[in-house]
């Protein structure tokens, strides 16, 4: 695995720990592309890439890496839906979509996630995990 990532991949899923660095969004998207390749409609792939990218970037930017400097990313493909989860070691801060504004250069990620996904939620039982479900 590139970038020193620890990964486990199984036919319909992958789980990986990636460096808490912005470049990890690209690595996560490539893993997702490999998972979804020719298995789902292309529109779902594009939506899933956007959601995963936003969740990884948020985890890196607003979260906290674990003791090894990593965040966890997992994706599971099941019948007619995809689950995406990103976990960091952070425990604070509000995780809510901001109102959309054309004047703000950032802060739109969760608004897009909420619009694209069937559902999304935050689990703070072990750090912060934000997960999302896409259905086709």
Can you give the CATH number for the domain in which 38 is found? 3.30.565.10
Burial-class residue 68 by CB neighbours within 10 Å (0-12, 13-18, 19+). exposed
Q: Which domain holds residue 116?
A: 2-135
Q: How many independent structural domains does the chain possess?
A: 1
pLDDT tens digit sequence for 37-63: 999 999 999 999 999 999 999 999 999
Whether 2 has a pLDDT exceeding 80, the answer reads no
What CA–CA distance (Å, rounded) separates 41 from 62?
31
Span 92-102, average pLDDT = 76
Pairing relationship of beta strands 81-88 and 119-123 according to DSSP bridges:
unpaired
Burial-class residue 112 by CB neighbours within 10 Å (0-12, 13-18, 19+). middle
**Residue for token digits 């298995």?**
39
Whether 121 has a pLDDT exceeding 70, the answer reads yes
């Amino acid at each position: 695995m590139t970038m020193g990532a620890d990964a486990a991949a199984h036919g319909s899923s992958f789980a990986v720990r990636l460096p808490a660095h912005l470049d990890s969004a690209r690595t996560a998207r490539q893993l997702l592309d490999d998972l979804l390749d020719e298995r789902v409609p292309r529109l779902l792939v594009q939506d899933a890439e956007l959601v995963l990218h936003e969740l990884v970037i948020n985890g890196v930017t607003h979260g906290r890496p674990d003791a090894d400097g990593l965040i966890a990313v997992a994706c599971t493909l099941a019948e007619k839906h995809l689950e995406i989860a990103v976990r960091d070691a952070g425990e604070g801060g509000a995780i809510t979509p901001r109102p959309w504004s054309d004047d703000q250069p950032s802060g739109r990620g969760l608004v897009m996630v909420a619009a694209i996904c069937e559902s999304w939620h935050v689990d703070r039982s072990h750090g912060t995990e934000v997960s999302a479900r896409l259905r086709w």
